Structure 1
Amino acid sequence: MSNRPDRYNANLPRNLTFRKSRQSYYWRNPVTGQEIPLGRISRREAVSQALEANNYIDENYIPSSLLLRLKEKPEFTFSLWLDRYAIILSRRELKPNTMKIRNNQLKTLCAEFGTKAIENITTREIAIFLDSYIESGKKNMAAALRSLLLDVFREAIVEGVIERNPAEPTRTPTPDVKRERMSLEQFTVIRSAAQSMSNWLANAMDIALLTGQRREDISKMTFDDIRDGRIFITQGKTGHMLAVPLSLTLNVVSLSLDQVVERCRAGNPSEFLIYSTVRKGGRKPGAVLPDAITSAFADARDKTALEFAQSPPSFHEIRSLASRLYAAEKGEEFAQRLLGHKNMSMTKKYLDSRGQEFDMV
């Protein structure tokens, strides 16, 4: 009996309902969703009124409402496009650290332009946004955000979302070069301080000077990478593969790579060249991570009496120093190959001493 259809609700016109608890009929407006009580009238009267109302809606509201919806141009917000752009970005197989930086930059862009329709974002709005960073002394950030905006809008053009790139007419901020280059004299002083702190830091500095490699690649070097008198390196940033001979010598410091490798072997129970047996700051004994190398170098640098006019050089500046020393001894092409650059223009940036060296006449 409980499954038998209620005779009041059986075969009722659409939008009409009978509420048994109130013994009343109700009609729901399909356009507004509003429910209208019809009162305690007969079933025949309720059906008649519902059919009349449904016909009225069909004839007067539904076609025009649907037509308006068809004519409407959907608003594609900048935030919505960034969701799509994130997928495009993930397909580029960028390094984790690069992706982390890009995601943070995209959050900044979304906070500024997220609610706006992407096609309505103007060059003026972008210029004002970038200028706020320039006025705050953050030219590097302004340049990075402009570069990302260019790519974001460029991909939107490719997929037919917009027709022009509003970021293109904006000025390219000239990044401030604040970090000083490191001279060989400064390297020697800092290395002396590093030697008094830990052997692994001095070894890491020597490997950086002799190979010109980045801290990430130095931290991953293992004794298994050494064979046939060479150390084989696959650069983490570019994927470029190098085979550097252990006989490589930098004459100006009278030091060869095989000498440093043998120092790394002494008392080292691990497979990694740069290994620490000391627990410090929560770090467990083992391979030294890139950030730990940077931090330890900064500590050693700050222990010296060296003074710097601008931002003091970081561990990465050893890479520039190595390129300049090798360029002087073996030529710029050798420096380019050692650093793993595809073109000389990038090597030239590392060869620029930024006023730290005299021009020999």
Structure 2
Amino acid sequence: MGRRRTRDLNLPPRMHRKGETFYYVTSTVPRQWIKLGKDLNQARLRWAELEGEAANPDDKTFAIIARRYEREVIPTKAIRTQRDNQAELAKLVAVFGSVSIDSIRPQDVRTYLDLRGQQAKTRANREKALLSHVFNKAREWGYTDAPNPCAGVKGHKETGRDRYVEDDEFAAVRAKGHYTLQDAMDLALLTGQRPADVLKLTRADIRDGSLHVKQNKTGKKLAIEIVGELAAVIERITSRPAKVKGAWLVQDENGQPLTYWMLRNRFDEARKAAGATFQFRDIRAKAATDTGDLGHAQKLLGHTKRDMTEHYTRARKGERVKPLR
């Protein structure tokens, strides 16, 4: 059995990263390192090709279909979605893995939702959504012609987050954090971008007086003017002495980028030390709310609809109204 990963936990089995390049490592002796390239999406597609193997056409268990879904579908999604789907698929395989795809019934989905919901209602809903998509792909691939068992099965009621991060809370956590966390928090606040989009920012994204962002989730492109506090933060980051200056804005002294799990661990440690309770993702909502201008907030967040931004900001701090007199 191979050693347990201590980094790059979002990578599929037998894919490894050396520097900026991804490799497929065979299980043969001696092991072979097959270069997959530097682009993670392309590397995942190549990984899927190398992982492909003929399956028994009579084997229609959920585990077999889930493995094909992992090879062919998940690599086409955004990086954050890939990571989420990997975790969700593992939960589903643990329950439905040995079951024939034709045998999964609506009542089974309902039972899964109820039991899983005792621990995490939102995650249960996401896993049900993935189950539905896997089943639809199974229909496309010819494994079954049965109706989708998820249809008509109502998920748990969800309530959107309404946590507003006060200035003193933000400052307290920031003060307890490693400088890489401080860089990430400052960039997240001033640009209003999601954690994954902050972590992927590079020096090459600084051009024409703007910080260029292509959002992972929506593909929306933004050019955020480098002025004011943002200009000062970027100057601080790019002029900081380091052993190696890598390509990323949020990087350690060796020029290596801060990964999602490193960000999460460092944020959790700083938050605990500061006695705060907000999540890193709440910084995006704070940025939108603190603009005080819905039009500005909508553009900064990359929302396509104004009412989305309006709900997003009012839910955090409440709608400002005048008193009776």
TM-score between both structures, scaled by the size of structure 1: 0.62
For 1:218, the equivalent position in structure 2 comes to 198
Deviations 1:108-139 (A, max 9, x none): 323323333323322112211211112x2310
Structure 2 distance, partners of 1:222, 1:80, is 39
For 2:18, the equivalent position in structure 1 comes to none
For 2:135, the equivalent position in structure 1 comes to 153
Q: Percent identity?
A: 28
Letter in 1 for 2:194: R
Is 1:288 paired with 2:258?
A: yes
Deviations 1:161-193 (A, max 9, x none): 2241221121111236678442233223333x2
SS at match of 1:276: coil
Letter in 2 for 1:276: D
Structure 1 distance, partners of 2:110, 2:85, is 20
Instruction: Extract structure 1 runs of 4+ deviating beyond 6 A.
Output: none
Structure 2 distance, partners of 1:223, 1:120, is 52
Shift of 1:296: 2.6
For 2:250, the equivalent position in structure 1 comes to 274
SS at match of 1:119: helix
Among 232, 236, 245, the residue aligned to 1:263 = 236
Is 1:78 paired with 2:62?
A: yes
Structure 1 residues 180 and 148: alpha-carbon distance in aligned structure 2, compared to 1, 3 A threshold = same
Deviations 1:288-347 (A, max 9, x none): 3333333333333222254xxxxx212221111101112x1xx32332222223444654
Deviations 1:72-125 (A, max 9, x none): xx78443444344445524x6113443243233223323323333323322112
Q: How does 1:261-340 map to 2 (within 5 A)?
A: 261-269=234-242, 270=245, 271-277=247-253, 284=254, 286-306=256-276, 312-326=277-291, 328=292, 331-340=293-302
Larger radius of gyration between Structure 1 and Structure 2: 1
Structure 2 distance, partners of 1:208, 1:350, is 16
For 1:172, the equivalent position in structure 2 comes to 155
Letter in 1 for 2:181: L
Among 114, 118, 121, the residue aligned to 2:104 = 121
Aligned residues: 261
Letter in 1 for 2:225: P
Structure 1 residues 332 and 165: alpha-carbon distance in aligned structure 2, compared to 1, 3 A threshold = same
SS at match of 2:222: strand
Structure 1 residues 353 and 78: alpha-carbon distance in aligned structure 2, compared to 1, 3 A threshold = same
SS at match of 2:76: coil
Structure 2 distance, partners of 1:289, 1:116, is 36
Structure 2 distance, partners of 1:332, 1:178, is 18
SS at match of 1:293: helix
Structure 1 residues 299 and 336: alpha-carbon distance in aligned structure 2, compared to 1, 3 A threshold = same
Among 66, 71, 77, the residue aligned to 1:94 = 77
Letter in 2 for 1:273: L
Structure 1 residues 314 and 179: alpha-carbon distance in aligned structure 2, compared to 1, 3 A threshold = farther
Structure 1 residues 154 and 138: alpha-carbon distance in aligned structure 2, compared to 1, 3 A threshold = same
Shift of 1:242: 1.5
TM-score between both structures, scaled by the size of structure 2: 0.68
Letter in 1 for 2:206: I
Structure 1 residues 320 and 116: alpha-carbon distance in aligned structure 2, compared to 1, 3 A threshold = same
Structure 1, unaligned stretches of length 5 or more? 1-73, 250-255, 278-283, 307-311
CA contact (8 A) 1:207 1:257 kept: yes
